[in-house]
Amino acid sequence: MSDKTLTRMDLADAVHSQVGLSRNESADLVESVLDHVSDALVRGESVKISSFGTFSIRDKAARVGRNPKTGEEVPIHPRRVLTFRPSHLMKDKVAAGNKS
């Protein structure tokens, strides 16, 4: 497994080299796309990126949890969580990468 993490700067560099925009324009473009995605998720909308996957928000209800160490019951408050469901193409691509 690789220790490399893809960052915003890496994405901006890829846009710069493949599209030919300036570095500042590339960084602004990446930032704009990420802002649109996060704003849509905050509004409760799903974000589907074809051939990649779907990001969606799920509301989780309140429930009673248990501290595994002490056995004490603890209330878990309702919350919204972000979920990602990869597309079949993405799953296949990742699986093919595992074989090499």
**H or E element in which residue 88 lies:** helix 88-99
Phi/psi at 49 (5° precision) = -110, 110
57 & 22 share domain:
no
Q: 3-class SS at 59? A: strand
Q: What is the pLDDT of residues 41-92, one digit of tens each?
A: 999 999 999 999 999 999 999 999 999 999 999 999 999 999 999 999 999 9
84 & 50 share domain:
yes
pLDDT band, residue 100 (cuts 50/70/90): low
Range of the domain at 16: 7-42
21 & 58 share domain:
no
37 & 59 share domain:
no
94 & 53 share domain:
yes
